[in-house]
Structure formats: C-alpha cells, structure tokens
Amino acid sequence: MGTYILKRLAISIPVLFFISVGAFVLVHLTPGDPADMYITPDMTQAQIELTRASLGLDRPLFIQYFDWISNFLTGNLGFSFGNRQPVLDIIGQRLSPTLLLMSLSLLVAYLTAIPLGIIAALRKDTLTDRFIIGWTFLNVSFPPFFLGLALIYIFAVKLDILPTGGMSVLGAENGAEDLIMHLILPVIVMASQFSANMIRYVRASVIDVMHQNYIRTALAKGLNRRQILWHHVLRNSLIPIVTVIGTDLPKIIGGAVITEQIFQWPGIGSLTVAAINSRDYPILMAIVILSAVAVLIANFVIDILYALIDPRIKYGK
Amino acid sequence: MDPKKFVLIHHDGTLSSSGLSAVTGIAADKEVDSADSWGKITWRRFCQNKAAVYSLVIFLIIICIAILAPVISPFDPAQSVGAFDEAPSAGHLLGTDDVGRDVLSRLIYGSQVSLIVGVGSVVIYAVVGITLGLLSGYFGGAIDSLIMRITEVFMSYPQFMIILVIVSLIGPNMMTVMLVMGFMGWPPICRLVRGEVLRVKSLDYVAAAVVTGYSPLSIVFKHILPNVLSPILVNCTFGIAQAILIEASLSFLGMGVQPPASSWGNMLTSAQSIMILSEEPWRWIPPGVAILVAVLTINFLGDGLNEAINGDSK
C-alpha cells in the first residue's frame, strides 16, 4: 500500500507538469499581449519595449514559464489584471462559497439517490422502477441553466418565496436562515445533476448482488428478507458508491460554472466567467491549474479509498 | 455531466460477453441458431424498448426540421421582422425578441446548430479516440504508456471549464466550439478502445491472423476494430447528447454561437435578466424545452441501443 501511494505520487508529478505547461501555453498563445494592459496610446516605442521588458515579456517563452511556475510553487500566483489584487486572495475568497455549495449538493444528491436506487432495484420492472429510471434520464438531460431559470421563475418570480440569487440579502448578512434560503435553488440544480448517476449505479449494484450465490444461500437457509436486505445485500452493494463519488468529486471546484453564474453565487465558477469576460489571464491560469489539481487529488483519494474498502483490490505489484 | 458517466453506464449495462460474442460468433450464443443477421436481432431487441423507439421517431423529426429549416421557417431568423418583444400571436407564433426577430424561426434554425455541433464534435473525438486507443492497445509498451499519460492529463482538466476557457480564448463561434469539444473529448473512447483491444488481442482468431502473416494494420482494421464498434456506437450516442448540452451551455454564457446566428443556448442568454425572465417567458421556455427534448431523446436512444447490443441489463 505504501509503495503504491508513492508510485501514484510519482506518476502525478509529470501529469502536473504537463497540466501547468498546458495552462501556460494556452494563455500565452492567445491573441493579445499581457503588456497591452499597461500600455497607453501616448507611449513611444521605446517605452513600450521598456514596459514589456519590465514585465519579463521580452524573454524566451520557456524562461517565462520557469519564472511563473517557480513563483506559483512558492504561493505567488501573480496579480489580477482587473483590480490588481493578489490572485491568491481573490481565489481564497471565492473558494469557500463554492465548497459550501458543492458539498451540500453532493450530500443532498446522495441522501436522496441511494434510497431511490435501492427502491428501484427492489421494485425492479415495476412502475416505481420505471418512474425512478425515467427521473434519472430527466435529470441528466435537463440543461442546468434552463432548470435554474425555471426554478427562479417559479419560486422567486411567481411564488416570491425564495431569493433570485446571491448569497445573502443586503443588510441581513451572516444570518444562517438567510444563507439557507439562498442555497435552496442552486443546491437543487447541482444535486439533480449529481443524483442520476448514483441512482443508476446503486440500482445496478443492488440487482447484481441479489443474484449472488451467498444471497441465495441466505434465502435458502431461511433468513428473513429484511435481515438479508440489511446485512447482506446493502452492505455489499454500497461498495460501488465510491466509484460514483470518484466521478463526482473531481467536479468540486470547476463543476458549478453555470449554476453559480445563474444564481450569482460568489464562487469559483462565477469568477471564471468574469475572468473570461475581462480577459484576466492570471486568474484564469490559476483557476485552470487549481481545478486540475483538485481532479488529481480527488482521483488519488478515491484510489486509496477503493483499496481500504475492498481488500480484494491489490495495488503496487 | 462527465464523459466518465458513459463508462459507468456501460458497467451497469453489463458490457460483457453476450453482446460481443454475438458480433464475433465466438461463443455459441442463442441468437446464432436463427438465421437472422446481427443487425436484425439488434433491431428487434431495440424495438422492444418503447421509450427508445418513440425517441428515435422524435429524433428523426428533429433531423427533418433541421434539414427543412429554410422551407418551414416562417421568417429569416437573423433579421428583424416585427415589433420588439412582441408576445405570441398569429403572425409570430412564439413572439419576437428584443430586436424583433421571430422566435419560432430562430428555434427552427437552432436545431441545425445543435445537430451539427453535436454530431461533428463526436465524429472528431471518435476518430481521434479510436486511432489512439488502437495504437495504444495494439502496440503496447512505450507508445501505450505515452498515450495513457496524455489521456490522464486531458482527463485531469474539468471538462466543461477547460472547454469554456479554450473556446473563449481562441474566439467563440460554432466551428471552434465543435473543434475544441472534439479534441478534448477523446480520452474516454481511447480508454474504451484500448481496453477492448487488449481483451480481443489475446483471442484465437487474432492470433491466427498474426500467424497467417497479416500486416498489423489489416489485423487492426479488419479483425479488431469491428469488435469494438458497438460499445463505441453507444458511447457516441450519449456523446452527442452531451455535446448538445455543452454547446447550449457555452452559447448561453455567450461563449458559443454568437447572435445574430441563432442557437438554442444563446436564445436563453437574455433570460438572465429578471425582466425578460418574468415578463417574456415565450423567449426562453421554448428553446429550453427544445434542448431538453433533444437531449432526452438522444439519451433514451443511447440507452435502447446499449440494451439492444449488450442484451437486457435488467
């Protein structure tokens, strides 16, 4: 296990390197020059050259990359083109609203999806099952922005019981009740995206386990169905939950762009859209790398979880 | 919302021996008894899934609408043809938008964008993914580990965010959306193909082909590729639905198809204003429903296809 973890970490380093090169090249190959932000029309050519030199833009690209990445690794992520604040501070402010929204959405999604998946499996091929399966299709097919707008239209505009967006009512900051009211609609949108896969996976897994020989044995030796369900079926069929978490967790940073944008949620997603619109490259590079690193870490954690949960999985051979 | 989703669907849809053996005829599956071709059997099983059949009909209707758009569209979708912000009436069945363009005509032409981008990007990533997957699985060794590392890098970027950033940096329009989605979406197919190649490679008939002295290229294309086509087909069907959703989302954010060209996604952009959202529902509900119906039918279609090819998963 220990060697496996080390091996995984070693593999992650070149992947991280290419991710950072990708982000750097992406932003530097685009039309426009970061120096444009500092250049005014009345500057002479010599002054422009001087500005470029002071920003380090006259040096070869790989040296610029090396400079940027060594700064990045020491926590100096540069400054926003927009308000000249350190990128690290801006991202830091936006991180916790996103994490709050996403973790709550995952929680709501799983708490509803797991029972629904089990019910669908136990009532296989009945109307209930068909309804739940249909529901998952509806969830994965509903455009998140359309769902968000429809919910705002119904609950904020027509019924006027929930706010249209933001994180708090001006003047009523820090109220827990206020925060919850603002969370309801975005959490519904995100949770509906997350729940479908979990429902299908749990359903398939429960059905699969119920066909196993040890379940037949338990039935044959006369255990009652409730006991079999709780002790044999569920315990074994919930292992694949990790698989679904493995596909959901990587989205925790970069997965809520649209939902945050619609509900004006002050997180990483709406920051991305704002940075794109204002061509704020330092922020964009930081977000791209941050979200990619989050994916790597999530995948890493999931692999370890697998090994811990299912002792049959052996790594590092 | 993630390419990995399709792989999940494969797993619970039992992507196992039954479907593939029916293709290859390796194992004596029960279908082999009947003289019917594999296509006929698959089609018959597909027809048992009512949701999939209805979806196929609706999907064909959407295709017809897209092809016949110049004929059936009442107005030019990009021109101002009426009063501004007009509610639905006999003259404009779905009303007009804020510059007097006919919403119905824009809706009809929007189907073209969705289908072109959806199918186009999937074709691109299928070609890239199949090629790299075959190379990786067949040759193994250094080529394999290089391709797998690249796959890992691509899969480490959150898909929607990276597509959003790239498209906006190189200039948002229909072509870039299609190309970027195509060149970002290949890793799942690549992995799928590689896995299948590794499995099929050890089977007797491939070994026989090697011994007989066929060239690697002809073994790959004549003997291995046909066997991996059905899971790819299922994956691509779901991929089209996914691509339509992503295109609509990008256009909604203003990072996809740009007005005056119409796309179902960019028709909803203006509804971010509470005024339009509450006062002019005819401008955002029809395109939203159109995306939902298109994506839903294609997903049902993919599900029906999956069941028909791989056997009933229930």
The string of DSSP codes covering B235-276 is HHHHHHHHHHHHHHHHHHTTSSSPTTS--HHHHTGGGGSHHH
- Could you tell me which residue, A135 or B80, shows the higher pLDDT? A135
Identify whether the C-beta of residue A121 lies closer than 8 Å to the C-beta of residue A317: no
What phi, psi does B197 have (nearest 5°)? Answer: -65, -45
Q: How confident is the model at residue A170 (pLDDT cuts 50, 70, 90)?
A: low
- pLDDT tens-digit readout, A86-127: 888 888 889 999 999 999 999 999 999 999 999 998 888 889
pLDDT reported for residue B78: 81
pLDDT at B10: 35
User: What's the CATH number where A249 sits?
Assistant: 1.10.3720.10
Which domain range does residue A118 map to?
94-268
Q: Both tokens of residue A274?
A: 């704002």
- The reply to whether A316 falls in a domain is no
Tens of pLDDT, residue by residue over B40-92, are 888 888 888 888 899 999 999 999 999 998 888 888 888 887 778 777 887 77
A80 part of a folded domain: no
A296 closest CB neighbour out of B156, B166, B278: B156
Mean predicted lDDT score pLDDT of chain A: 82
Residue B35 pLDDT greater than 60, yes or no: no
- The answer to whether residue A190 sits within a structural domain is yes
Please indicate whether, in this complex, the C-beta atoms of A287 and B288 are within 8 angstroms of each other: no
A141, A193, A205, A247, best to mutate vs chain B, most B CBs in 10 Å: A141
Count up the domains in chain A and report the number. 1
CB burial string A176-203: b at 16+ within 10 A, e below? eebbeebbebbbbbbbbbbbbbbbbbbb
Domain annotation covers residue A13: no
**Three-class SS of residue A97?**
helix
The amino acid at residue A209 is V
Better-scored residue on pLDDT, A214 or B22: A214
pLDDT in tens, B205-231: 888 888 888 887 788 777 778 878 888
**Distant-in-sequence contacts of B65-72, Cβ < 8 A, 24+ apart:** B65/B108, B65/B111, B66/B111, B66/B112, B66/B114, B66/B115, B69/B108, B69/B109, B69/B111, B69/B112, B72/B108
A152 contact residues in B (CB cutoff 8 A): 274, 277
Share of chain B above pLDDT 90, in %: 28
The reported pLDDT for the residue numbered B215 is 81
pLDDT score at A174: 64
Do the domain assignments include residue A132?
yes
Q: Who among B155, B255, B291 is closest to A146 (CB)?
A: B291
Of B8, B249, B296, the CB nearest to A201: B8
Whether residue A284 and residue B165 make contact (CB cut-off 8 A), yes or no, is yes
Say whether A149 and B284 touch across the interface (CB within 8 A).
yes
